[in-house]
Amino acid sequence: MDEIKWENLNKDCLENVFGRVGMKSLLLDVPFVCRSWHAATLDPSCWQSIDIPDIVTDRYSFDPLEMESWKFYPFLKRFVQEYRIDETNLSVTAFIKFVIDRSKGRPTFVRLPLCSEIAVEYVVDIGFMSL
């Protein structure tokens, strides 16, 4: 009897499952399993529900993320490492844009952390009008 391998599952099936795993797993776990899973996570259907965790920065500024605040966000630290991003260039706004871009303008739900007007305008400009 042939054994079915996870990496050989139908792409539509993978997208359906990955659309339910949550943003952290969708960014940091699933894409690094194998190429077919990585490809499936790039489909906008996986990004219909976007719930970005609160990211606390200096109360007077949203950009860039303070280096001191990184120690409180292992998720962001791992994100920077996995995607090989220069952490001095990462901001709350840049992170929001990165995640929103994955949806290709098709999210059905978005929850943003406290963020800049620029980030909110970006979400609205892609066509998601009811925040």
What lies within 8 Å, CB to CB, of 114 at 6+ separation is: 54, 55, 56, 62
Q: Where are the domains of the chain?
A: 6-53+63-125
Q: What angle do CA 22, 50, 36 make, to 5 degrees?
A: 55
In the three-class reduction of DSSP (H, G, I as helix; E, B as strand; rest coil), residue 49 is classed as: strand
Backbone angles phi, psi at 29, to 5 degrees: -115, -65
Reported for 24-32, long-range contacts at CB under 8 A and 24+ positions apart, including other chains, are: 24/53, 24/75, 27/79, 27/82, 27/99, 28/75, 28/78, 28/79, 28/82, 32/82
Other beta carbons less than 10 A from residue 85's beta carbon: 15
Distance CA 24, CA 1 (A): 36
Q: List per-residue pLDDT tens for the chain, 131 residues long.
A: 567 776 677 778 878 888 888 888 999 999 998 888 898 899 998 898 888 877 655 544 445 555 445 545 777 778 888 888 887 777 788 888 889 998 887 788 888 887 778 888 888 887 654 44
Helix (H) or strand (E) holding 81: helix 74-82
